[in-house]
Amino acid sequence: MQLSLHPQMAFKRIKRSENYSEWYNNLVKDADLAEHSAVKGCMVIKPYGYAIWEKMQAILDKKFKDTGHSNAYFPLFVPKSLFEKEEKNAEGFAKECAVVTHYRLTNDPNKPGSLMADPNSKLEEELVVRPTSEAIIWNTYKNWINSYRDLPLLINQWANVVRWEMRTRLFLRTAEFLWQEGHTAHATKEEAWEETNQMLAVYADFAETYMAVPVIQGTKTPSERFAGADETLCIEGMMQDGKALQMGTSHFLGQNFAKAFDVKFQSKEGKLEHVWATSWGVSTRLMGALIMSHSDDEGLVLPPALAPIHLVIVPIYKSEDDLAAIHEKIKPLMDELKKQDITVKFDDRDSYKPGYKFAEWELKGVPLRLAIGPRDLANDTAEMARRDTKEKETVAMSELATVIPGKLDEIQKALFDKAAKMRDDNSYHVKTWDEFVDVVENKNGFAWAHWDGTDETEEKIKKMTKATIRCIPLDQTKETGTCVLTGKPSAGRVLFAKAY
C-alpha cells in the first residue's frame, strides 16, 4: 500500500514482536528510505534516506579531517593481477567479486533487437570491480612514498563497492553499497597500531554520541579477521531483537600490503624499510543500525543529531485566514530555530488532514511535532509532541525557542539510555552450555562466555547455535575460567551472539 494513500497503514500490519525481519523491511520502504532496484541485489536510496546518510557523512568527514586525514578518490576497477598480489586479501574476497571481461556491446545475431558482449572487445586483463580498495591504493602508494618525510600518509575515500551477495537486505547487505575506507601508511608499527585504535574510537564516539547506539569495542578472532590484516578491531551494537550488528571495523594491516606491493621508504637512519599500514571503514549498514536500534511499531524513531527534520509544525485551520495567522505567529520561531541549526518543516499542505500529517511524520521519525490551531493562537500556546515517548505538553509560544533545543537534547540522551538499558537487560554472563544455548536461542541476547581460544571450538559453537564470537572486548577483564563448550581453560569472557 502506498504511503501517498495511507501513511503507515501497510507498516502497522506487522509488529516487531510478530516478525522483526518483515517489520524492518516494511519500515525501510514505508518511511521512504530505500527500495529494491531493477538490478538484483542492489538498492535505490531515496531522498529522505540519503538525507540521513549525508548527515552521517558530514559528521564523520569532519572527524576524519580533524584527525589529520584527507580525502582522495581511486578507480572502481582493479586489474586482476593487482588484486591477486596480497594473497590472503584476494582469497578472502574472491567469491564476492564481480569481474569485467569486455568493454563493448554489439548486436546479437541470434536474437534480433538484443545485445551481447562483443567478442572483439575482450579485455587483455580482466578487471575486478572493487570489493575493497587496498590493492589499487597500495599500488598507487608505491609512487607516493619514498622517504620518511612522506609519512604518515593519511587518506580516506568516500566510494561505492561491490560484493556479490546472494541474500540481500536493504542497507544491511546489498551487492553494491556506499561507504568510506581509510587507508594509511606509517613509519613504525607503533604509529600504525595507534592509528588503528584511534579510528575505532572515532567510530565508537560517532555511534554513541550521534546515533545514540551504545557499542562494545573489541578485537575480532583470527577466523573473523579482515582478509590480509594482522588484527581487526570492531564496534558491535545490539539491535532490538537481541542480535548483534558489526557497525564499523579498523584493521591493523602490519606490513602485508607494503610487502605485496613493495612499498618502501628511506628512514631517518638511511635504511630502506617497508611501511606499516591500516585500513578502516563504515558503510550504509549504519542506516540499518539506526533503524533497528530505536524505531517502533509506528515507524522510525530518529535521534535528533541525525534527523533531516528536527521539528514539524502542523497548522490546524479551517480558512486561509486561519493559516495566514498561524504562519505569521510561528515565522519568528522558525527564523530563531534556524539560527540554532534546528531544521523546521511547516506542513501547510491543503490536500491532507492533520491526522494524516501526524501519522506521516511519526512514520518518518521526526523528533518533535508542534500542532497549532486558532484556539492555541488565542491562548498564545502550542501543543508539542515527542516522537520517542509520544508525550504531549502545552508550551507557551514565548518559551518555544528555548524549550525546543533543550527537548531535542533530552530526546538524544533518552534514546541512548533506552538502548543501553535494553542491551544491559539482554546481556548474560553464562557458565554452562545449557545457559549459553538458552541465551542465544531463547532469550535472544548477548552471551558473555569463556572460550578456550581455538578455531575449532569457535566453529563448532557456530555450527551448533549460529552464534559467533562478535569480539574479544578491549576492556576484557582477565579472569580464569573454563570454556563453555569444551571445559578447557580460558583467560576471560568473550562476546557471543547471533548477528546480522
State the CB neighbour count (10 A cutoff) for residue 116.
Answer: 13
CATH of segment(s) 25-78+131-294: 3.30.930.10
CATH 3.30.930.10 domain position(s) in the chain? 25-78+131-294
Positions in the chain whose pLDDT score sits under 70: 1-13
Fold type of domain 427-497: Translation Initiation Factor IF3 (3.30.110)
Q: Which one, of 161, 184, 171, lies nearest residue 247 by Cα? A: 171
- The count of C-alpha atoms lying within 13 angstroms of the C-alpha of 199, restricted to the half-sphere facing its C-beta, is 32
Q: Is 8 exposed, middle or buried (0-12, 13-18, 19+ CB in 10 A)?
A: buried
Distance CA 387, CA 364 (A): 10
Distance CA 150, CA 245 (A): 37
3-state DSSP assignment of residue 246: strand
pLDDT of residue 5: 46
pLDDT of residue 165: 84
CATH of segment(s) 307-411: 3.40.50.800
Which runs of E-coded beta strand occur in 373-492? Answer: 381-386, 392-396, 427-429, 446-450, 468-473, 481-482, 489-490
CATH 3.30.110.30 domain position(s) in the chain? 427-497
Under DSSP, the state recorded for 409 is H
Give the list of residues 6+ apart from residue 172 with CB closer than 8 angstroms, or none: 245, 285, 288, 500
Which runs of E-coded beta strand occur in 145-199? Answer: 153-162, 176-186
Distance CA 293, CA 240 (A): 6
pLDDT of residue 64: 98
pLDDT of residue 10: 45
Asked whether 211 and 293 are in contact (CB, 8 A), the reply is yes
Kindly give the residue spans of alpha helices, DSSP state H, lying in 300-399.
Answer: 320-339, 354-363, 374-379
